[in-house]
Amino acid sequence: MVQRHGDEQSHVMEREPLLSGTAQPDSDYHACHSISEEDTGNGVLKPVPEEDEEQSIGRGETESVKDNAHVNVLKIISVMLLGIFVAQCDGSILMATHAIIASEFNALKDSSWLIISFSLAGAATQTLYGKLSDIYGRKRMVIIAYTMFMVGCAIVGVGQTMWQVVLGRIVSGAGASGMSALVSVLITDLLPLREVAQWRAYVNLVATLGRSIGGPLGGWLADVIGWRWSFLGQVPPITLAIILCSAYLPSHTSTVDEQDAAATDLLKKSKFSRIDFKGAFLFAALVLAVLLPIELGGVSIPWSHPLIFTLLGASAILFALFVAVEKRQAEPILPLDIFHSKDAILSFFILGFQTAAQLGMMFSVPLYFQVTSNPRPSATVAGAHLVPAVVGNAIGGIISGSVIKRSGRYKSLVIWAVTCSSIGYLLLMLRWHGNTNWFESLYIFPGGFGMGVASSALFISLQMVIDPAHMAPAVSFMYLMQTVWMTIGLPAANAIMQTVLRRKLGVRLLELGYDSAEVAKIISDAVSDVDFIDGATEKVRNAVVKSYIDGLWWSHAFSFSCSIIALVLAVFLKQRRLDGHKSKP
């Protein structure tokens, strides 16, 4: 529904992106209206006017209408939770099995491409879903995303070569990028703004459960019946999810005021002709040109390789071309108006720095316990130390949604969240120097908790300043920013740790009397395999462990720095009222 305020308050036009196949770019939006769904099958959502409600029906009937609306929203969102759960399981399954998969094809050195291909495909297609769902409707794009993910899993499961499996991961990544983003867009379409964060927290809880189960499940399946069934086994539940979405997600309808000539002309245009193909191609190329150097540099090729500089130079050219093209498009794939709001840009960057900080921590924690514990734990046990952060993330999202619903305040939550995260990272720097007890192992909880609170609050911050006609691409771009900063955070934390580790270990080995050739050999062995510690002499082992601790200290410092930057940016956010309408930027 679109409701124009001020002088045109009486002018009402039904505009719900979920339901209408079109977006009305020049319409205002009453974001916090109550809704009831009289006919879910036909996809008709009837807005309940807040001012006239008490005049026409009693309080008891009003509550009944609101309860019915929530039941219908719950039904619509619930059918998508199965897909969210499976998609999040998939990522953890791959992390547990990528080495096994690549080894079957004698391509262990290329195992990283199973992860890189998925993330790059997702990043390149992320923003497409938002705009295409405005044009073709949410339901159709949800089904397309699920279908692509299912086909990709099937290709991986039956692949006979390494690059067939990589192709499957590309297809899966292109589908998975739309699955999570479109759920958030649907929630935004259907719910009053005060309730959006709380419902997204429930979705995040399901996603967290999927991430937690995926790794152990994938490892168990690989050991018992083979890794292929880790992916073929995802096909039946995703097929069921497609059937449920087809049956229960509302179809689109729209009614447009005949006096709104611009909206009427927009509806008459061919849907296909409205797709910004040039912008989509340039943006996908831009994302790949930015992320490929980050993914490949220092791993597959050295940072000094000419390809790194070529891609970075190409990204600058592609960015200029993309901006020039989008300025001339009637319906750009990524509306540049999104970036006219200071708070929108701040929200993107705060979430980005928080994501990089948490990924740096998630990288360092298992490695820390593998290196410092004696006897050294298995990778599974070391990874279990991440559970407090994962639990904190889920709890933080739920609390954040509840507080926003009751108080309508989100800026203070963002500041509190990044402060909490910063304290957690600072505790790691101060206390994690080896021999960490069970209580101090919980210091990662604040980092995860702060991320959960911040992600929910920043989603509301974005909604408060974005034109509703641009909400779907804006939400997709927010998810893209998370992907980009994940890609930045992990390599950055690893590079910092490796640099300090090599330098400190070299100094310690020279002090122990080893010559330069022996030092180089020991450093090479120590940084390539943590199992080296088990067979090393006591002096060398102590030198390696202390050097790892030094390197990981700087990794925590990276997370702390990112969180402090996010805290500074959060101060400049503006608190707007969640009082029944969106504040204009």
Closest CA to 98 of 292, 225, 209, 230: 230
3-state class of 321 per DSSP? helix
More confident site: 483 or 320: 320
pTM of the complete model: 0.75
The whole-angstrom separation of Cα 247 and Cα 309 is 50
Max avg pLDDT among 364-378, 403-417, 459-473: 403-417
Q: What is the mean pLDDT of residues 370-396?
A: 79
- Residue located via tokens 């009397």: 513
Q: What is the per-residue pLDDT for 549?
A: 92
Half-sphere exposure of 200 (CA within 13 A, CB side): 35
Q: What is the mean pLDDT of the chain?
A: 79
CATH class of 335-491+555-585: mainly alpha
DSSP state of 38: E
The whole-angstrom separation of Cα 20 and Cα 185 is 14
Listed by start position, the domains of the chain span: 277-328, 335-491+555-585, 498-554
Q: With beta carbons less than 8 A apart as the criterion, state whether 291 and 118 touch.
A: no
The whole-angstrom separation of Cα 393 and Cα 245 is 28
Q: What is the per-residue pLDDT for 67?
A: 55
Closest CA to 138 of 174, 188, 89: 188
pLDDT, one tens digit per residue, over 107-140 is 766 777 887 788 888 888 888 888 888 888 888 8
pLDDT, one tens digit per residue, over 5-60 is 444 333 333 334 443 333 333 333 333 333 333 343 333 343 444 444 444 444 44
The whole-angstrom separation of Cα 37 and Cα 44 is 6
More confident site: 52 or 297: 297
* Length of the chain counted residue by residue: 585
CA 331 to chain centre: 25
CA 579 to chain centre: 28
On the question of pLDDT at 176 being above 80, the answer is yes
* CA distances to 279, 481, 484, 497, 557 from 492, in Å: 30, 16, 12, 9, 12
The whole-angstrom separation of Cα 515 and Cα 508 is 12
